[in-house]
């Protein structure tokens, strides 16, 4: 998705999306070369497009009603529409294993 499409999805400005992308990339949790591709659009312009990893990360950085609805939809798809459990192993001094 382009910055403009993301702004439309989360009902915010392209500037807010761009600032959030910069914050996310600055943390080095997501790498630009893994989540972004530079493409030529049908109208002849060029744009950066972002993959689903960035869209999900942005949904937690942008605080709008649309981003909340997107997060709820995403959690619902992951948590409620599966025939198997997801194993989470948290090793931050707790040594707990959680089954979701």
Q: For residues 35 and 54, is the Cβ–Cβ distance under 8 A?
A: yes
Residue 100's pLDDT band (cuts 50, 70, 90): very low
Residue 93's pLDDT band (boundaries 50, 70, 90)?
Answer: low
What is the DSSP secondary structure assignment for residue 10, as one 8-state letter?
A: T
Q: Which range, of 13-17, 22-26, 41-45, 46-50, averages the lowest pLDDT?
A: 41-45
The percentage of the chain sitting over the pLDDT mark of 70, rounded to a whole number, equals: 80
Q: Is the pLDDT of residue 97 over 90?
A: no
How much is the average pLDDT of 24-52? Answer: 94
Q: What DSSP designation does 11 have?
A: T
- pLDDT tens figures, 13-27: 999 999 999 999 999
């Amino acid at each position: 998705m382009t910055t403009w499409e993301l702004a439309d999805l989360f009902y915010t400005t392209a500037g807010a999306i761009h600032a959030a992308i910069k914050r996310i990339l600055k943390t080095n949790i997501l790498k630009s070369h893994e989540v972004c591709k530079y493409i030529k659009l049908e109208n002849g312009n060029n744009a950066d497009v972002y993959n689903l990893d960035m869209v999900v990360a942005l949904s937690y950085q942008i605080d709008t009603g649309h981003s909340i609805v997107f997060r709820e939809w995403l959690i619902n798809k992951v948590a409620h529409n599966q025939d198997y459990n997801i194993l989470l192993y948290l090793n931050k001094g707790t040594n707990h294993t959680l089954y979701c």
